[in-house]
Each structure stands twice: as structure tokens, then as C-alpha cells.
Structure 1
Amino acid sequence: MSAVPKTAVQPLSVSQLTAQVRGTLEAKFLSVWVAGEVSNFTRAASGHWYFTLKDANAQIKTVAFRGINLRLRFDPRDGMEIIARGRLTVYDPRGEYQFIVEELQPKGVGAAELALRQLKEKLLAKGYFSPARKRALPRPPRRVGLVASATGAAIRDMIEVFAQRWPFTELIVRPSRVQGEGAAHDISLAVRQLNWLHRNNKLSFDAIILGRGGGSAEDLWAFNEEAVADAIFNSNVPVISAVGHEIDVTVADLVADHRAETPTAAVVALTPDRQELLAALRDLRTRMGDAVERRIRFAKQHLDQIASRPAFRLPLQRVENLGQRLDDTNERLARAARQRLVQVREKLAALSAQLETLSPLQVLARGYSLTHTNDGQLVRDAGALRPGDLLVTRVASGVIRSLVTDAQGTEHEHSTAHGEPAPRGAG
């Protein structure tokens, strides 16, 4: 065992040593600017940020507490180059020295510009800027909600232009701050309140105009806040963003259903011009009157032409002419019928004479006769008859009925002529 030193030494505890180191660091590095790259960024449930600042040769643990974070317009990310102002301290439980951030800004680009870029990327990914979701503006509108500063020129200009162009639109003004701290919250709340009235059938809106006059980019910053973008995106009523600055395009402009360069331009986009409509109506009335007069003149000329025709000057002449033509036609038809009847009679007489010449009765008149069996069969061959058959013989002046006692055909006569005996039973 080693011997206890004779000189009494009072050692420091780890906590005491750590406290002395922390005191030295905090006194020496009470406020210092540090530039570096963000690494291992973590967002705690408490709202605090924990990350590491590093360069090519060293690194330091860094903490940004919630109160600081809420004032920042952008979110640090791994790989981002930043410049931070803060103080050095020691975290006693782990004996690590760390950098406590009190101010933070991106390196090489302004914090506001970076915050705007990040918000646009986020909203683009969520579909806030999609043209497919943008709605057409009703024209003309019956009721419009105006969100603007109660004391600004924008609200007066919009009301005046509405009165000039289309005074029939009912205007509901919801005053709101349009710049400075709390303006974004007030604008988004105004849009939500008007939508609540619309959804609950308290007041039905055709459109909502977010209006303000021109200003610097800082003045217009309320229209670049995510709260305003959310309110516009979730609106049941079409929204017109009328931020009076033609150069800067705000997030509200990108999310809204329609962007107008000025509040006055928003009213023009939403309403017809009453004077232009009245002038157009007067012109239409004049053209319609001219067209009616031309139509009347044409109809009168056409009527005069019709009235000058013979059918209207001598209305019975046409009937008389047609009656006379009908009589002529009847006479021609009767004459043609008589001629046709004579021709038919002459032809019938000729055919009768020809038929008479061919008639069997003429043959009978010359001494011939026709013999039929009792059932009407014409007798052409005597060999077909048998003794006892009844015959009917027609002569020119009557009918003779007879009974066959003997019938000999041509073949029998031929055989008998040559000395051959006649067949038995014939005759």
C-alpha cells in the first residue's frame, strides 16, 4: 500500500470541479459567434432542439431551447450551414461542454428567405399550389367577404369600386391586421370565421377577398405564414389574394383560387362593369329595334307581293278556270269511254265469230255427231265399249240415247277384211 501523504490535500469532488469549469467557460465565452454544419439534428417533444455543430476538424454539442426556436422563421436541417450566437456551458450530468444557442441564422442566405423557401416546399408537397383544386370565381357575386385593415386604403378602394361597378353585391367587412406581429393569426382567423358563417347557413358567401395595399417584403410577411395558407386551403368559399405588390408573390397568392395584383384588381376580376353592361344593353336594344324594323319591312313587302297575285285580286277566277277544265276533262273521258266501248264490242263480235267457226256445233251442223258415254266420256274408240253401255249422241238438232249391242274397233275391221274371224264378244 502506498503511504498517505504527510501534507494534507483537500480534493475536489467531480461536481465541484465541473462547476468550476462551467463557471470559467461561461465567464470566458459569455457571447460568441460560431459557424458550422448542422449534424444529428433532433427535435424533442418539449420543443427543444439538440444537434451537433461541426467543421472538418472538430465538433460541439449544441442546444436551442424552445423559447428561441419559436422566434425562428426557418428550421435547421442536417447538412445546413448556419451561424449561431450563444454561450458555452457544461452539462453537469455528463460532464460535457455544450453550446447554448441564443440567436441562429442560415449562412449565405437570409433567415426569412430560407423560411419562405422551406414553407413553399412543404406546401407544394401537400398540394396547396395545385391548379386542379382552384375554383372559378362566381360572376357577378351576390355576397363577398372583405378581410383587410379597417383603417387602410385597401378597404376603401374595394368598397368604392364595388359601388361603381356592381353595387348590387352585399359586402361583409371583417377587419383584420395585415402586418406586424399577430397579423397572420388575425387573417387566418378572419377567413375561418367567414367560412363558419357560410357552412352554418348564417351568411352565404360567393367569394372572400384578402386585401392590403403595397409595402415592403417585411410588411407583407403575414401573407407568407403557414397559418394563412392553411386557412385559404381549407376555405369552402373561393378566396382571392389581393396583396398590393406586383413584384413579390406571397404564399397566400399561390394558395388562393385567384391572385389579383391589387385590391382594386380583385374587384374588377369578380364583378362586371355596370356601365359597360348598360351600354351593351342600350346597343343591344338599338340593334334589336333595327332588326325588328327590317323584319317588318320585309314582311310588308312580302305581303304586298302576295296580295298583288291574281289569286287574291280575282279569287273566283281560279275556281272558275278549274271548273271549266274539269268539264273538259269529263267530256274527254266520256268520249274516250264511248270509243273504247265500241272498240271492245267490235273485237268481241270478231272473237265470237271466230269462236263460232271453231265451235263443235258448227261441225254437227254439217252432219257430224258427238258420242259420249253415260258418264260424259267422249267415245273415240269403239273397241273401248261393251255391249250394254249407254251412249249419248249429240247431233245438230238434238240428242240421241242408245244402248250398245255390238262394238267393233278399227283393229277388228282390219282383221275381218282379210278373212280373219272377229273376236268373240265384239258387236
Structure 2
Amino acid sequence: MPEDPDVLSVTQLTREIRDVLQSRIGTVWVEGEISNHRLQSSGHQYFTLKDAGAQLSCVMFRGAAARSSVRIQDGALMQVHGEISVYEPRGQYQMVVKQVQAKGKGSLQERFEALKRRLHAEGLFDGDRKRAIPRFPRVVALVTSPTGAAIQDMLNILTRRAPWVRVLVFPVRVQGQGAELEIVRALRVLGDAEDFGLPVPDTLVVGRGGGSLEDLWCFNEEVLARAIAACPIPVISAVGHEIDFTIADFVADLRAPTPSAAAELLAPDSAELQRHFDSIARTLKARVGTLLEHHQHVIELTAKGPLLHAPDRLLQQAEQGVDEQEQRLRESLRERLQAWADDLTQKQHVLAAHHPRVQLTEAVHRAETSGRRLQQGLQHRLDRLADRLQSRAELLKHIGPQAVLARGFSFATNAEGKVLKDAAEVKPGEEIVTRLAQGEIRSVVKG
């Protein structure tokens, strides 16, 4: 077939699509919820921007990320500014982000935070209600997907490190609508394992591999959190990667950063255990040998000692020691009793000094003394006031109006008793009263 100049290669078509996107759309602001955020060692950041109807792959290169003061995290509602382009190796369109600014929290993250606060307030996260994980479990139940990589990792680790552990796998869905109900049913069945004819597990592991916030959401449902809290068997939550946190992690008795880490926690390495047991055996053997040598030495000393040759002498020494101890005891009791007697006498003197009768007598004496002082003070005050009153009365007598009248003076008032100071204050025919030192004169004004 001859070459057709109109036939494009994949690379050519992809580049034309990129050119169209960059020229037609260019740089824009887009708002959405952050999901599946990844920070690479190179400093580049990759994430998905999504809303209810679509999602957009985004990349923020190291330079733009270093200039940004806004932290990008899953569940956050962000506004991003950048250029629409195409990642040619995968033929995938994406946004090259230059700038980000926070808008709020996405709906899933808000639900997560609200449920976390409510369950924390109820005490489901408290450390005192969490149980210890058995160090050497005999039966372990794995509640996870039977087809994921997590189950294979856990089985490989358990088989290699602890082949004596019996493993029960309870297959469930770990993603999608209704997955949390399957996990809840698994917890209830395993909690009553004996009723179902199953070996009773020492520990349960609930988990799965990593994923986005949406992929892990079934582990954030309230019904699963309460089922984990109510489970009679200790539960290890091993969901996602080390940076992923779910409600199940907070409620579970122990959180493992990954499913593999959960398996390692449950299964101590057999070789390490063997070395530990060998060390214990050597230590025990050495201690038993030392103990036997000690007892052998005691037996030898006893055989050579006076217990066999002169038991009477040992008995006499013991009796003499008893007598000495008895004498010391008597002296100690005598000293103690004397000290108690002295203390009692002192307390009796203190009590007598503070007896209510004594206190009352002293109070009466103080009251009588204070009463006499008060009476004397009042009498002295009254005498001083009487003297001042007499002095003021004499002064008033000498400068008062009666004294003035006695010297031959008089004063006139009208009929109403108003003192007259001016002749114009009365009219002919009015009656006036003239007051003298002795008596008064009533007159009628002529003019």
C-alpha cells in the first residue's frame, strides 16, 4: 500500500491535539476537589481535580510547587490556575498547574471530618478501650479482597515468618457501594466463629492496598466503625499506604501503616524467635548451674559446721539471742510508752488552756474591761459636750435679742409678725406691735 500523505502518526495526531487544546483553551482557572495526590521525590506533585460529573489529571512541577504557600491534600476544595496540555507518552490530556488557592473542603473530606469529630466525642477513639494484640497468635483472620495484592503479601509474610499460625481468609469487597456491609458481616461472623463451626481467631486484620480517597471510602463509613468497636476480637486496621488514614484506623485496636506491616506485627520471624529461645536456654542453664553450685557449697559448709557436731551450742546461742531481743523490745516499749505519756501530758496542758470554760472566763473578763472603758469614755465625752453646751448657752444669752431688749432697746413687727425695718413698710391705720424687754405695746399707725 503506498504511503498516504494524509495519514498521521500517533505522535503527530497527539501533538496536533495538544496544540488545539493549548491554543483554544490556554490558561484557565478550574475549581474542584483534590484526590489521589502524590508528591514525588523530584518535587513534582500529581493529583486529580474532580467534581460530581468529571475529573481532570493535574501536574504541578517543582518550580511552581516551591513558589506556592498552599498545601495540597486529598479532600480539599481548590481553585487551580494553569494550562491545558497533553502528556504525549500516554496520550492523556492534563492541566499543568501554575498556581493554587484554597477554596474549602470537599464533600468527602467534610463527611470524614464530621464523623471523626462525632465518634471521637463518643469515646470510640479512646486508648483505654482498645485491647492489646496477642504477641503469638495461633489463629489469624484476614478480612480483605481475595484477589488483591494485599492478601498475597500478608499470606507470604505469615507463611514465611510464622508457618505455625492458622490463617482464615474471609473474602469481601473492599471498594464500591455496599463494601462496608460485607466487612461488617465478616466481623460479626468471625466474632461468633464458634457458632459457625470456625476456629476462633485471636486477631482480625481488616484492610486493603492503597487507593484514592474514593477507593478507600468504605473504611470511613459509620456502620463499619461501630462494628469494629463492637467486635469481641482485637482488630488491626491495615488500609492503604502509610500516609492514608481512615475512620477504621482510629477505631481499631491497632493501626498498621500497610497490610504487609500488619502481617509482620502478627508474625515474629521464626529465625529470630529461635535465636531468642537459644539465648534464654543458655541463660537458664547458666543460672541453674550457679544455683546448684551455691546449694552444693551450702551442703558442704553445713556438713563441716557446728550444726552436726555441737547442736547444743547453736541452740544456746539462739536462746541467748532471743533473750537479748526480748530485752531490747522491753526497753523500746518503755521508751515508746514514756514518749507517748509525755506527749499526752503536753496535749492535756494545751487542751486545758483552750478549755471552753477558760476561754469563756477570759472572754467575760475582756468584755467587762471593755465595758468599763467604754462607759468611762462615754461619760467623759458627755461631760465635755455638757460643758460646751453650757458655754454656748451663756454666749447666746449675752448676745441674743433678749439681752438687747434688756438694755432699753425695742423692735416693732406688723400684724403678721414681720420685723419692720423701714417706715414705708406700714400704712396709716395698720396695727403694729412694739416688743420691749417686758411685754409689748400694740399701736395704730397715724402717719
TM range (shorter): 0.3 to 0.5
Structure-2-length-normalised TM-score: 0.41
Of structures 1 and 2, the larger Rg is shown by 1
Write 1 or 2 for the structure with the bigger share of helix: 2
